[in-house]
Protein backbone atom coordinates (compact mmCIF):
# COMPACT_ATOMS: atom_id res chain seq x y z
CA UNK A 1 0.00 0.00 0.00
CA UNK A 2 1.31 3.42 -0.95
CA UNK A 3 2.04 5.70 1.97
CA UNK A 4 0.59 9.18 1.69
CA UNK A 5 2.30 12.27 3.09
CA UNK A 6 0.67 13.49 6.28
CA UNK A 7 -0.91 16.92 5.90
CA UNK A 8 0.71 19.61 8.05
CA UNK A 9 -2.63 21.28 8.79
CA UNK A 10 -5.40 19.17 10.26
CA UNK A 11 -8.17 21.32 8.90
CA UNK A 12 -8.33 23.46 5.76
CA UNK A 13 -11.09 25.95 5.00
CA UNK A 14 -12.69 25.84 1.60
CA UNK A 15 -11.59 29.03 -0.20
CA UNK A 16 -14.89 29.41 -2.05
CA UNK A 17 -16.67 29.75 1.26
CA UNK A 18 -14.86 33.02 1.87
CA UNK A 19 -16.14 35.25 -0.87
CA UNK A 20 -19.71 36.15 0.04
CA UNK A 21 -18.74 36.75 3.68
CA UNK A 22 -19.38 39.88 5.69
CA UNK A 23 -16.52 41.79 7.31
CA UNK A 24 -17.30 40.18 10.64
CA UNK A 25 -17.16 36.67 9.23
CA UNK A 26 -13.90 37.41 7.43
CA UNK A 27 -12.37 38.73 10.66
CA UNK A 28 -13.53 35.59 12.42
CA UNK A 29 -11.99 33.39 9.75
CA UNK A 30 -8.74 35.40 9.84
CA UNK A 31 -8.53 35.02 13.60
CA UNK A 32 -8.99 31.29 13.18
CA UNK A 33 -5.76 31.32 11.19
CA UNK A 34 -6.83 31.62 7.59
CA UNK A 35 -4.71 34.47 6.21
CA UNK A 36 -6.44 34.78 2.87
CA UNK A 37 -9.37 36.41 4.66
CA UNK A 38 -7.32 39.54 5.32
CA UNK A 39 -6.51 39.72 1.61
CA UNK A 40 -10.22 39.92 0.86
CA UNK A 41 -10.67 42.71 3.41
CA UNK A 42 -7.76 44.59 1.82
CA UNK A 43 -9.35 44.20 -1.62
CA UNK A 44 -12.65 45.43 -0.23
CA UNK A 45 -11.40 48.62 1.39
CA UNK A 46 -8.10 49.65 -0.23
CA UNK A 47 -9.70 51.82 -2.92
CA UNK A 48 -11.91 53.75 -0.50
CA UNK A 49 -9.04 54.31 1.90
CA UNK A 50 -6.73 55.39 -0.89
CA UNK A 51 -9.12 58.16 -1.97
CA UNK A 52 -9.65 59.29 1.62
CA UNK A 53 -5.89 59.52 2.19
CA UNK A 54 -5.35 61.17 -1.17
CA UNK A 55 -7.84 63.93 -0.26
CA UNK A 56 -5.89 64.62 2.91
CA UNK A 57 -2.33 64.11 1.75
CA UNK A 58 -2.73 65.29 -1.81
CA UNK A 59 -0.02 62.96 -3.00
CA UNK A 60 -0.46 59.64 -4.76
CA UNK A 61 2.63 57.93 -3.35
CA UNK A 62 2.00 59.18 0.19
CA UNK A 63 -1.60 58.01 0.03
CA UNK A 64 -0.53 54.53 -1.06
CA UNK A 65 2.05 54.40 1.71
CA UNK A 66 -0.47 55.41 4.38
CA UNK A 67 -3.07 52.89 3.14
CA UNK A 68 -0.45 50.17 3.32
CA UNK A 69 0.52 51.23 6.85
CA UNK A 70 -3.17 51.25 7.79
CA UNK A 71 -3.65 47.64 6.75
CA UNK A 72 -0.45 46.53 8.47
CA UNK A 73 -1.66 48.15 11.67
CA UNK A 74 -5.06 46.54 11.20
CA UNK A 75 -3.46 43.09 10.94
CA UNK A 76 -1.43 43.74 14.09
CA UNK A 77 -4.35 44.96 16.16
CA UNK A 78 -7.27 43.03 14.74
CA UNK A 79 -7.28 40.54 17.60
CA UNK A 80 -7.82 43.42 20.03
CA UNK A 81 -10.90 44.75 18.23
CA UNK A 82 -13.78 44.08 20.60
CA UNK A 83 -16.74 44.82 18.36
CA UNK A 84 -16.28 43.32 14.91
CA UNK A 85 -19.34 45.22 13.66
CA UNK A 86 -17.43 48.47 13.88
CA UNK A 87 -14.55 47.24 11.71
CA UNK A 88 -15.26 49.69 8.88
CA UNK A 89 -15.30 52.77 11.10
CA UNK A 90 -12.23 51.49 12.98
CA UNK A 91 -10.41 51.15 9.67
CA UNK A 92 -11.34 54.69 8.65
CA UNK A 93 -10.22 56.02 12.01
CA UNK A 94 -6.81 54.37 11.69
CA UNK A 95 -6.45 55.69 8.13
CA UNK A 96 -7.38 59.23 9.20
CA UNK A 97 -5.04 59.19 12.19
CA UNK A 98 -2.16 57.85 10.15
CA UNK A 99 -2.80 60.38 7.38
CA UNK A 100 -2.70 63.32 9.78
CA UNK A 101 0.36 61.94 11.56
CA UNK A 102 2.05 61.54 8.20
CA UNK A 103 1.06 65.08 7.21
CA UNK A 104 2.36 66.53 10.47
CA UNK A 105 5.66 64.72 10.16
CA UNK A 106 6.02 65.90 6.62
CA UNK A 107 5.14 69.47 7.51
CA UNK A 108 7.73 69.48 10.27
CA UNK A 109 10.44 68.70 7.76
CA UNK A 110 9.04 70.56 4.86
CA UNK A 111 7.12 73.74 5.45
CA UNK A 112 6.70 74.35 1.78
CA UNK A 113 4.38 71.37 1.44
CA UNK A 114 1.71 73.45 -0.23
CA UNK A 115 4.06 74.29 -3.07
CA UNK A 116 4.99 70.70 -3.77
CA UNK A 117 4.06 69.46 -7.22
CA UNK A 118 1.12 67.08 -7.14
CA UNK A 119 1.96 63.64 -8.37
CA UNK A 120 -1.12 62.21 -10.03
CA UNK A 121 -0.91 59.29 -12.47
CA UNK A 122 -3.51 60.46 -14.99
CA UNK A 123 -6.78 62.39 -15.03
CA UNK A 124 -10.23 61.82 -16.43
CA UNK A 125 -12.40 64.44 -18.22
CA UNK A 126 -10.73 67.81 -18.53
CA UNK A 127 -7.45 67.38 -16.66
CA UNK A 128 -6.56 71.07 -16.39
CA UNK A 129 -9.99 72.16 -15.17
CA UNK A 130 -10.23 69.24 -12.78
CA UNK A 131 -6.78 69.92 -11.39
CA UNK A 132 -7.53 73.62 -10.81
CA UNK A 133 -10.69 72.79 -8.99
CA UNK A 134 -9.00 70.17 -6.90
CA UNK A 135 -6.27 72.54 -5.79
CA UNK A 136 -8.85 75.21 -5.01
CA UNK A 137 -10.95 72.79 -2.99
CA UNK A 138 -7.88 71.58 -1.13
CA UNK A 139 -7.08 75.17 -0.15
CA UNK A 140 -10.61 75.74 1.12
CA UNK A 141 -10.71 72.45 3.00
CA UNK A 142 -7.34 73.19 4.60
CA UNK A 143 -8.87 76.26 6.20
CA UNK A 144 -11.50 74.19 8.01
CA UNK A 145 -10.79 72.48 11.33
CA UNK A 146 -9.58 68.89 11.12
CA UNK A 147 -12.91 67.54 12.39
CA UNK A 148 -15.01 69.62 10.01
CA UNK A 149 -12.85 68.50 7.11
CA UNK A 150 -13.11 64.84 8.14
CA UNK A 151 -16.88 65.07 8.50
CA UNK A 152 -17.23 66.57 5.03
CA UNK A 153 -14.88 64.09 3.38
CA UNK A 154 -16.51 61.07 5.01
CA UNK A 155 -20.05 62.27 4.32
CA UNK A 156 -19.67 63.51 0.75
CA UNK A 157 -17.07 61.15 -0.70
CA UNK A 158 -17.61 57.99 1.35
CA UNK A 159 -21.36 58.19 2.01
CA UNK A 160 -20.93 57.44 5.70
CA UNK A 161 -23.91 58.06 7.96
CA UNK A 162 -23.60 60.57 10.81
CA UNK A 163 -23.54 57.62 13.21
CA UNK A 164 -20.56 56.11 11.38
CA UNK A 165 -18.79 59.47 11.15
CA UNK A 166 -19.27 59.86 14.89
CA UNK A 167 -17.71 56.42 15.44
CA UNK A 168 -14.75 57.31 13.23
CA UNK A 169 -14.18 60.62 15.00
CA UNK A 170 -14.94 59.25 18.44
CA UNK A 171 -17.71 61.72 19.26
CA UNK A 172 -21.50 61.96 19.52
CA UNK A 173 -23.67 61.76 16.41
CA UNK A 174 -24.96 65.30 17.03
CA UNK A 175 -21.42 66.61 17.20
CA UNK A 176 -20.50 64.89 13.93
CA UNK A 177 -23.59 66.39 12.31
CA UNK A 178 -22.76 69.87 13.55
CA UNK A 179 -19.13 69.59 12.35
CA UNK A 180 -20.42 68.73 8.90
CA UNK A 181 -22.91 71.61 8.72
CA UNK A 182 -20.53 74.16 10.21
CA UNK A 183 -17.93 73.09 7.69
CA UNK A 184 -20.38 73.52 4.85
CA UNK A 185 -21.35 76.97 6.05
CA UNK A 186 -17.71 78.01 6.28
CA UNK A 187 -17.08 76.74 2.77
CA UNK A 188 -20.11 78.62 1.46
CA UNK A 189 -18.77 81.83 3.01
CA UNK A 190 -15.37 81.27 1.40
CA UNK A 191 -16.99 80.60 -1.96
CA UNK A 192 -18.98 83.79 -1.64
CA UNK A 193 -15.88 85.81 -0.79
CA UNK A 194 -14.02 84.45 -3.78
CA UNK A 195 -17.06 84.87 -6.02
CA UNK A 196 -16.80 81.23 -6.97
CA UNK A 197 -19.69 79.56 -8.82
CA UNK A 198 -19.96 76.33 -10.75
Partner 1 sequence: MKCEKVLKYITEYTCNELPFFIHWRIKRHIKNCKYCQDEVRGIANVLDFLESNTLPEPSPEIWQEMKENVLSSSASKLCHPHFSLPGVPFYLRYGFYFSTLAAAILLVFLIFSPFSDKKRDSTAMLWTFFHTDLWDFSGFFGKVDNSRLAKFTPEIEQRFKVRLKKELDLNSQDESRLFPLLQNFSSKMREYCYSYGYALSALSLAIEQDKSNELDDWLLKIHSIREKWTDSRWQLLKEVRFILNEKQFARFLIFTERLPQEIKNICLEVWETKS
Chain residues binding partner 1 by CB under 8 A are: 1, 3-4, 6-7, 9-11, 13, 25, 28, 31-35, 38-39, 42-43, 46-47, 50-51, 54-55, 60, 64, 67-68, 71-72, 75-76, 79, 120-125, 130, 133-134, 137, 152, 156-157, 180-181, 184-185, 187-188, 191-192, 196-198
Estimate the crossing angle of helix 36-57 against helix 60-77, to 10 degrees: 140
Output 12 or 104, the one with its CB closest to partner 1: 12
Minimum Å gap between C-beta 89 and partner 1 is 20
CB of 111 to partner 1, least distance (A): 25
Q: Which is nearer to partner 1, 13 or 171 (CB)?
A: 13
For 26-59, the DSSP string reads HHHHHHTT-THHHHHHHHHHHHHHHHHHHHHH--
Least Cβ distance, residue 92 to partner 1 (angstroms): 17
| Dihedral sign for Cα atoms in the order 39, 170, 100, 118 | positive
Smallest distance, Å, CB 168 to partner 1?
18
Residues 90 and 83: their CA atoms lie apart, in Å, by: 10
Which is closer to partner 1, CB of 71 or CB of 108?
A: 71
- Min dist CB 145 to partner 1, Å, is 16
94 vs 187 by CB, closer to partner 1: 187
8 Å CB contact between 56 and 103: yes
Instruction: Give backbone dihedrals phi and psi of 73, rounded to 5 degrees, phi first.
Output: -65, -40
Question: 73: closest CA among 47, 54, 101?
Answer: 101
CB of 112 to partner 1, least distance (A): 23
Nearest to 159 by CA among 19, 43, 51: 51
CA distances from 39 to 54, 90, 197 (A): 22, 17, 43
Is 44 or 111 the residue whose CB approaches partner 1 more closely?
44
Comparison of 1 and 115: residue with beta carbon closer to partner 1: 1
Amino acid sequence: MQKTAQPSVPYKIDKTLLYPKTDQQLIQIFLEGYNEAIGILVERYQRQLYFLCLRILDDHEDALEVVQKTFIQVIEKLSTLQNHNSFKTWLYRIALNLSYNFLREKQTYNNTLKNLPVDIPYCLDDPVMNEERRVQLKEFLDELTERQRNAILLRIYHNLSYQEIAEVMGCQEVTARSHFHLGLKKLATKFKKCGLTL
